[in-house]
Amino acid sequence: MNGQQKRKIYFINKDLQGKFIFNYFILLTLGSILFVGIFSFFSSNTLSIVYENYHLHLGTTPGILFKKILSTQWLFIVIGGVLICFITLRLTHRIAGPFYRFERALDEMIGGDISRTVVLREKDAGKDLAEKINAFNSRLSENLFFIEELNSKIAISSRQIENELGEDDREKFAQLLETIRESQKNIEVTVNEYSFNTSPRL
Answer whether 0.85 is exceeded by the pTM: no
Quick check: 195 pLDDT over 80?
yes
Kindly state whether residues 73 and 18 are assigned to the same domain. Answer: yes
| Domain boundaries, position 69 | 14-110
According to DSSP, residue 45 is labeled T
Domain boundary pick from 110, 136, 161? 110
Kindly state whether residues 83 and 167 are assigned to the same domain. Answer: no
Kindly state whether residues 49 and 20 are assigned to the same domain. Answer: yes
Nearest to 195 by CA among 135, 148, 133, 129: 148
Note whether residue 7 is domain-resident: no
**DSSP string across the chain:** -TTSPPPPP--SSHHHHHHHHHHHHHHHHHHHHHHHHHHHHHTTT-EEEEEETTEEEEEEHHHHHHHHHHHHHHHHHHHHHHHHHHHHHHHHHHHHHHHHHHHHHHHHHHTTB--------TT-S-HHHHHHHHHHHHHHHHHHHHHHHHHHHHHHHHHHHHHHS-HHHHHHSHHHHHHHHHHHHHHHHHHHT-B-------
Note whether residue 2 is domain-resident: no
Kindly state whether residues 172 and 87 are assigned to the same domain. Answer: no
Note whether residue 119 is domain-resident: no
Kindly state whether residues 20 and 98 are assigned to the same domain. Answer: yes
Q: Could you report the per-residue pLDDT of 24-81, keeping only the tens digit for each?
A: 778 877 877 787 777 777 766 776 666 666 666 666 666 666 666 666 667 777 787 7
Note whether residue 121 is domain-resident: no
Quick check: 130 pLDDT over 50?
yes
d(CA 95, CA 133): 17
3-state secondary structure of 60: strand
Note whether residue 198 is domain-resident: no
Domain boundary pick from 76, 110, 144? 110
Note whether residue 199 is domain-resident: no
How many domains in the chain?
2
Supply the pLDDT for residue 135: 93
Domain boundary pick from 110, 140, 169? 110
- Report the chain's terminal Cα–Cα distance, integer Å: 40
Quick check: 179 pLDDT over 80?
yes
